[in-house]
């Protein structure tokens, strides 16, 4: 086990033990159906662990990060222990209190030497 794999396991253990269960939702636009005149989107969800915290004052600039935004530190693993499909901008995350946030910039993948340790994400209600 490499140093970064151990770091990944430690981050997952911490977020699993001290964070909360979250549902990450991704909507893939479907194709236009001329017969119905509509589009059927495909929704996929993943259960994961993460910690939602407040941004520090020094990070809030009023443009990219607003005072009402939250910061999400997200495990790279689903709750079943398999690898999480990387979140993308526009996905949503629902916390244990059923509050839903949208993933907005900045969305960072922390992956030293190519090993995803965690995702550092800005959330907007």
Phi and psi torsions of 108, nearest 5° = -115, 135
Q: Name the strand (E) or helix (H) holding 10.
A: helix 3-18
How far apart are alpha carbons 50 and 15 in whole angstroms? 5
Q: What is the pTM of this model?
A: 0.90
Using the 8-state DSSP alphabet, how is residue 79 labeled?
T
How far apart are alpha carbons 21 and 77 in whole angstroms? 12
User: CATH assignment of 3-30+41-124?
Assistant: 2.40.10
Q: State the virtual CA torsion across 73, 88, 81, 93 in degrees, nearest 10.
A: 60
- Distance from first CA to last CA of the chain, Å, rounded? 39
At residue 40 the predicted structure's pLDDT band, cuts being 50, 70 and 90, is confident
Structural domain spans, the chain? 3-30+41-124
Q: What is the pLDDT of residues 56-93, one digit of tens each?
A: 999 999 889 999 999 999 999 999 999 999 999 999 99
């Amino acid at each position: 086990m490499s140093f970064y794999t151990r770091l990944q396991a430690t981050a997952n253990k911490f977020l699993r033990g001290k964070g909360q269960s979250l549902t990450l939702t991704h909507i893939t636009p479907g194709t236009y159906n001329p017969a119905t005149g509509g589009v059927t989107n495909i929704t996929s969800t993943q259960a994961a662990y993460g910690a939602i915290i407040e941004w520090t004052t020094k990070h809030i600039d009023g443009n990219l990060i607003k005072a009402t935004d939250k910061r999400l530190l997200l495990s790279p693993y689903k709750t079943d222990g398999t690898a999480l499909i990387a979140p993308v901008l526009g996905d949503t995350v629902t916390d244990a209190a059923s509050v839903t946030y949208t993933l907005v910039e900045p969305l960072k993948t922390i992956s030293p030497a190519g090993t995803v340790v965690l995702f550092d994400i800005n959330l907007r209600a």
